[in-house]
Each structure stands twice: as C-alpha cells, then as structure tokens.
Amino acid sequence: MANDVTTAARAAAPGQIFGAEFAYELIRFLGTLALTLLGLTFVTFVIGRVVPIDPVLAVVGDRAMPETYERVRQELGIDLPIYQQFWLYLTKIAEGDFGTSAMTSQPVLHDLFQYFPATLELATAATLIGVLLGIPLGVVAATHQGRLIDHVTRIVGLIGYSIPVFWTGLVGLLVFYAWLGWVAGPGRLDIGYDGLVEPVTGLITIDSLLSVDWDVFKNAIAHLLLPASLLGYLTLAYVSRMTRSFMLTELNQEYILTARAKGMPERRVIWRHALGNIIVPLITVVALSYASLLEGAVLTETVFAWPGLGQYITRSLFNADMNAVLGGTLLIGTIFVCLNVLCDMLYRLLDPRVRP
C-alpha cells in the first residue's frame, strides 16, 4: 500500500512541478511587465511635465481668455502637485482610459489602434527582408572568410550603418519612383484605392487578401516595397554582421572539427550543426532589431508619409500632446518586454541547456 502511495506521488510530482513553475514564470512575467511599465510611465510623465511646453496651450490655443486657460488647466489637473497628477494618470490607465489626444481630439487608445498597424506592417516586412537575406549572407561570409564575398558582405554592412536612413529614403524615391517608376510613391495606398477594403486587422496587405481584392493588394505591395526594403537593408546589415561573428566563433569549435574529420558533408556541418547552435543568440538579435524598427522608424515614416506610430508620437510631442506621447511610449515599452519574454521562451524551447 505504501509503495502504491509513493508511486502515485512520484507520478504526480512532474505535473505539480510544472504547474508551480508555470505559475512562478507567469507571476515573474507580470511583475516584470508592471515594474517596467511603471518606471517607463513615471520617467516619461516627469519629462513631459518639466519640458518648456505648455500642454494647456495645445488645447485652448494662444489667444484663449485667462479664465478659459485656468479652467482647462484645472480640468487637466496640471495645477496639482506632480505626484498627484501621476497618481490620477495611473488610476485612469487602470480603467483603460489613456486620455484624449489634443492633436486629433480622439481617445489615445483609438489613435494607437489606428496608427500602430501601419508601423507593424512596415516593420514586419522589413524584418523579414533583413532576416531572410542577412542570415544566409552572414553564413556565406563566415565560411569564406577573407575572400571576396566576405569583403563584399562587410562593405554592405558598413554602408548600411553609415548612410542616414532619411537620405536613402529620398534617393530611393527619386530613383525608383520618380525616374524608373518601379514602385509607388509615398503613403500606404493610392487615393483611388483608399477605403475600398474593410479594415479587419489594420494591415492593408492582410485585409486586401481577406477581401480577395487583388488590385488593392498589388497597390499596397507597391507602396510597401521601397520603405520596407530600405529598413530591411538596415536589418540586413546588422543581422549579417552578427551572424558572421557568431559563425566564425562556432566554426572553430572542436565538434565542428570532429564532424569534418569524420567525413560529414560540409553543407550539413555548416547549415545544420553550426547554424543550429547560433540560433539562440540570433533570436535576440532579430528580436531587438524588430523592436527597434517598431520604435524607431520615424524618419522613414516621415519621408514616405507613412501614417505609423512613430510619426504619430513625434507629431504629438511637437504639439505638447503628452497623453498621446505617454500612450505610445507605453505601447512600445510593452512590446519590448513581451519580445524579451518571448526570447526567453524560445531559448528554453530551442536550447535544452537552459531548461530547468
């Protein structure tokens, strides 16, 4: 009888351990997310209150009467101490209220849902281009170290880091749009196609496929191709450089020398074993590149009149619209934290050495 109880307890132990581990990871994730966003919100909130920009004037204008100015100031809570202002803002966020944008007169949450899909579409396309081209290019450069392809890869990466993205955007529009006519111009769609597809996801390429409207899809791709390629070039430069560095280190490991000595095909040694062992650090490289594009595609969105989140936050900052700036900052911070957590999960899935 005792043996049966012991056996049952041992059988139940893995499930209990897994449940406890899952609960711990969930609590740790939620705690990290809450603390990170709290600190990010506080810093951004304080900066927004100390900059020499009056958010009241962004609402009432320069010619408002003094009594109107004072009334709006009290409604916004700016007359209160900063710690009370911050507490009131946190309580509103807890209720799902990010305030109203002074620039668009719409709820900030509504604006974020409207502008973020454009940035998501652009950043995702750019990341796919950079990763699909950058990783093979880095692998080939590492396996041909010191040869022509290696030098070309390094030069391509150096150029990608050195040239400002707004300059490449302007030159790209001049050459490929104005002169050659290979791509469409600024914006996400031609004005004749605007509004023809019902917005479901906010991603025009996906929505046009869901609506089976091939004309809108082709026009969206024509507009997306150039800005995504330019941003993808930046990702390619970074990813290819890091892939080359990781591969050079991996190719000098003893297990690679042993595999070659045993006569294993070179293609399998490189693309399966060496590349397979650098996937884990590459995940971090790709995730950080993706998050940076989601946050920092402001110049590209400005050059190409791309109605994305970066352009929305920048225009809000210039117009002293701190509700919009704080809302966009929180969204970007949430994305960064979630991507880091996703990287940790992929580490445990792909690398058994980090599993508990």
Q: What is the pLDDT along the chain (356 residues), one digit of tens a residue?
A: 444 444 444 444 444 544 676 677 778 777 877 888 788 788 878 877 777 677 777 677 777 787 887 887 777 777 788 888 888 888 888 888 888 887 888 999 999 999 999 999 999 999 999 999 999 999 999 999 889 999 998 898 888 878 888 888 899 999 999 998 899 988 899 888 888 888 888 899 999 999 889 999 999 999 999 999 999 998 999 999 999 999 999 988 888 888 888 888 888 889 888 888 898 889 888 988 898 888 767 788 888 989 888 888 888 888 778 888 888 888 888 888 788 777 877 777 776 665 55
- Overall number of domains in the chain: 1
Contact present, 142 and 243 (Cβ < 8 Å): yes
297 assigned to some structural domain: yes
Residue 356 is predicted with a pLDDT of 55
Q: Using the structure block, give the residue that is written with the tokens 């995730």.
A: 287
Residue 163 is predicted with a pLDDT of 84
CA distances to 42, 92, 271, 272, 293 from 86, rounded to whole Å, are 7, 10, 52, 52, 29
The string over 98-136, giving b where at least 16 C-beta atoms fall within 10 Å of a residue's C-beta and e elsewhere, is: bbbbbbbeebbbebbebbbbbbbbbbbbbbebbbebbbe
Instruction: Read off the amino acid at residue 18.
Output: F
The domain that holds 181 is classified in CATH as 1.10.3720.10
Residue 7 is predicted with a pLDDT of 47
Domain region containing 205: 113-354
1 assigned to some structural domain: no
256 assigned to some structural domain: yes
pTM of the model: 0.83
157 vs 294: CA distance, rounded Å: 21
Two tokens, residue 58: 């962004």
Contact present, 143 and 270 (Cβ < 8 Å): yes
4 assigned to some structural domain: no
91 assigned to some structural domain: no
42 assigned to some structural domain: no
Give the count of alpha carbons within 13 A of 145, CB side only. 12
CA distances to 258, 300, 345 from 245, rounded to whole Å, are 21, 28, 24
57 assigned to some structural domain: no
321 assigned to some structural domain: yes
Two tokens, residue 266: 């070179």
